[in-house]
């Protein structure tokens, strides 16, 4: 990298100062790229241009997490980016979607594009930032845009690496932004768009949520999406495939730990029934295992009922299997359960979250352990499998809480469990985790597999090892063999697949648990309880410190808000 005078490197065109030592090299490389682009006559994100840029080719990219996840062996592109790519394709742009869960990214195609559109979960943020910087270094004229869960929650960090951020739903915002780039601006006033103008961050307000959900995604837009049958993929490549469809967006419930409302707003919206049916019919050529990616497929019994009636009329249940996210309240509707099974649904993914009623009440889950048990019986009686998600490390959870969850899940014959460590976004006022309780040395550990907070009633390393031990027990070869001997081959194959898929996760969790052990000792008493007076003086991790400054979140504000119930 060329050496520039200090006054040159501190030019107003430079969007930020590099103080994060672990990432200092990446930071300075990016500063150089920005300077080279601005001073060399390329696109300069700090200044709105008087002349536009002709947009022909747009590359959409979604990368895997830095560390292994259970989805690495599942061909299941996230729904949002292919949808956005298809919307752009439908208005005339040349678009390709690259998702590492499907195939490696064709970087040559990306480098020759006019716009790079990125989407990322937070666990993939660092890899996504590095990718954006690498592309920008080779093609300074390319314009970079980022959306999705991470960019929506870490706007300032994302703007350090890309030219624009779209917050939340991008269906309408992306077309408006691309058109404005073509015309040279202005960008002020574009709903959901954030950018930097002369080094100052601009966050345009969100004017409305999309109401027309008629658009769907074109699978052919996804680079190297396989048409191979799922069973063949499983045997040959140890991978499986699931086709994503969507019937609704949002959720009418308000669980305090959930990010759905931040991404999709408070409105719960359904697609037109016939659009959904057409979507399924077209995608049957690509696979027979479908997942409704709705946050809550069964949220409106009348509208869900109409969809199920049409699925039954079409005979989809005879040629495909479906899964969907739901809640235990659907167990109170026996007719709905019958329709679900007849329409081809085999698995309902339930957010049980906790077996502790105090926790369920505190997070506003609107369910109890008694209702959970009754719902489980109703689902099994209807011939439906249950996949359960749990949030562990809650304020009420102590040692042994994960063991109880695993035993409960095995005893109730759940087909799958997902153990997610409790966490909150730094700067989020809806979490009892004040900044000093967050362990966020890197975005790489975001995503649920790793403990990123100091639990109240057990040490972080204790929770991390319980999570690892619990998932190992649930996905053990011993359970696989037991089910095979009982001729439950579907369950046995499912356990074997997950046992293989979790190997990388378990190895990384073991390493991370050792790190947690090295930082936790000073903050707990001899019984393993968190000492608030000690943790209050802990130095904030850089990610947390920055977000806390932006939000104004402090230890005192959170203690006052959540005491005495939580702390």
Helix, strand, or coil here: 499?
helix
Pairing of strands 74-75, 94-99: unpaired
Helix, strand, or coil here: 95?
strand
Pairing of strands 193-197, 200-203: antiparallel
Name the DSSP class of 347: E
pLDDT tens digits for the chain (567 residues)? Answer: 223 223 222 333 333 334 343 444 444 444 444 444 444 434 444 434 445 789 999 999 999 999 999 899 999 998 999 999 999 999 999 999 999 999 999 999 999 999 999 999 999 999 999 999 999 999 999 999 999 999 999 999 999 999 999 999 999 999 999 999 999 989 999 999 999 999 999 999 998 888 788 889 999 999 999 988 877 888 888 889 999 999 999 998 988 888 887 888 778 899 999 999 999 999 999 999 999 999 999 999 999 999 999 999 999 999 999 999 999 999 999 999 999 999 999 999 999 999 999 999 999 999 999 999 999 999 999 999 999 999 999 999 999 999 999 999 999 999 999 999 998 888 777 677 889 999 999 999 998 999 999 999 999 999 999 999 999 999 999 999 999 999 999 999 999 999 999 999 999 999 999 999 999 989 999 999 999 999 999 999 999 988 877 654 444 443 444 443 333
pTM for this one?
Answer: 0.87
Q: And the tokens for 8? A: 């040159």
Helix, strand, or coil here: 255?
coil
Closest to 389 in 3D by CA, of 367, 368, 405: 405
Q: Which long-range contacts (CB under 8 A, 24 or more apart) does 8-11 make?
A: 8/35, 9/35, 11/35
The single residue listed with the structure tokens 């000093």 is 436
- Let me know: does 528 contact 459? Beta carbons within 8 Å: yes
The single residue listed with the structure tokens 């019994």 is 301
Say which residues have a Cβ less than 8 Å from residue 21's Cβ, sequence separation at least 6: none
SS3 content of the chain, % helix, strand, coil (to 5): 45, 15, 40
Rounded CA-CA distance 509/447 in Å is: 13
């Amino acid at each position: 990298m060329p050496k520039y005078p200090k006054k040159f490197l501190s030019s107003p065109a430079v969007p930020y100062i590099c103080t994060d030592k672990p990432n200092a090299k990446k930071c300075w490389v990016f500063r150089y790229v920005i300077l080279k682009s601005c001073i060399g006559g390329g696109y300069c994100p700090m200044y709105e241009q008087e002349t536009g840029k002709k947009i022909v080719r747009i590359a959409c990219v979604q990368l895997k997490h830095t560390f292994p996840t259970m989805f690495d062996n599942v061909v299941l592109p996230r729904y949002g980016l292919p949808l956005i790519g298809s919307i752009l394709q439908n208005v005339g742009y040349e678009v390709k979607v690259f998702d590492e869960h499907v195939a490696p990214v064709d970087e040559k195609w990306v480098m020759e594009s006019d716009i790079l559109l990125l989407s990322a979960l937070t666990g993939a943020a660092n890899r996504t930032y590095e990718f954006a910087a690498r592309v920008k270094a080779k093609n300074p004229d390319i314009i970079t845009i980022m959306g999705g869960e991470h960019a929506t929650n870490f706007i300032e960090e994302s703007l350090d690496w890309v030219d624009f951020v779209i917050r939340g739903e991008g269906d309408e915002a992306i077309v408006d932004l691309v058109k404005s780039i073509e015309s040279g601006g202005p960008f002020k006033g574009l709903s959901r768009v954030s950018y930097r103008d002369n080094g100052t961050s601009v966050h345009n307000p969100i004017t409305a949520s999309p109401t027309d959900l008629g658009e769907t995604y074109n699978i052919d837009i996804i680079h190297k999406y396989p048409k191979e049958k799922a069973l063949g993929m499983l045997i040959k490549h140890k991978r499986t495939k699931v086709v994503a469809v969507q019937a609704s967006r949002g959720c009418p419930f308000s669980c305090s730990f959930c990010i759905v409302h931040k991404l999709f707003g408070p409105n719960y919206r359904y697609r037109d029934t016939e659009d959904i049916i057409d979507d399924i019919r077209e995608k049957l050529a690509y696979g027979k295992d479908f997942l409704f990616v709705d946050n809550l497929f069964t949220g409106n019994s009348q509208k869900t009922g109409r969809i199920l009636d049409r699925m039954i009329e079409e005979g989809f249940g005879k040629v495909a299997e479906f899964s969907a996210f739901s809640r235990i309240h659907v167990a109170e509707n026996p007719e709905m359960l019958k329709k679900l099974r007849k329409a081809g649904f085999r698995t309902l993914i339930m957010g049980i979250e906790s077996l502790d009623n105090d926790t369920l009440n505190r997070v506003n889950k609107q369910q109890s352990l008694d209702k959970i048990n009754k719902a489980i019986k109703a689902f099994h009686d209807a011939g439906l499998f249950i996949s359960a998600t749990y949030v562990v490390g809650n304020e009420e959870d102590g040692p042994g809480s994960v063991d109880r969850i695993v035993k409960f899940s095995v005893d109730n014959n759940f087909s799958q469990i997902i153990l997610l460590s409790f966490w909150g976004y730094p700067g989020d006022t809806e979490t009892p985790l004040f900044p000093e309780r967050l362990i966020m040395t890197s975005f790489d550990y975001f995503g649920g597999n790793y403990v990123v907070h100091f639990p109240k009633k057990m040490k972080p390393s204790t929770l991390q090892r319980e999570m690892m031990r619990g998932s190992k027990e649930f996905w053990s070869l011993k359970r696989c063999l037991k089910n095979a001997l009982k001729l439950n081959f579907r369950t046995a194959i499912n356990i074997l697949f997950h046992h293989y898929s979790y190997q990388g996760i378990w190895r990384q969790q073991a390493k991370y648990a050792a790190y947690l052990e090295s930082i936790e000792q000073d903050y707990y008493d001899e019984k393993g309880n968190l000492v608030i007076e000690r943790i209050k003086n802990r130095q904030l991790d850089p990610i947390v410190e920055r977000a806390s400054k932006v939000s104004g979140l402090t230890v005192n504000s959170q203690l006052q808000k959540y005491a005495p119930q939580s702390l």
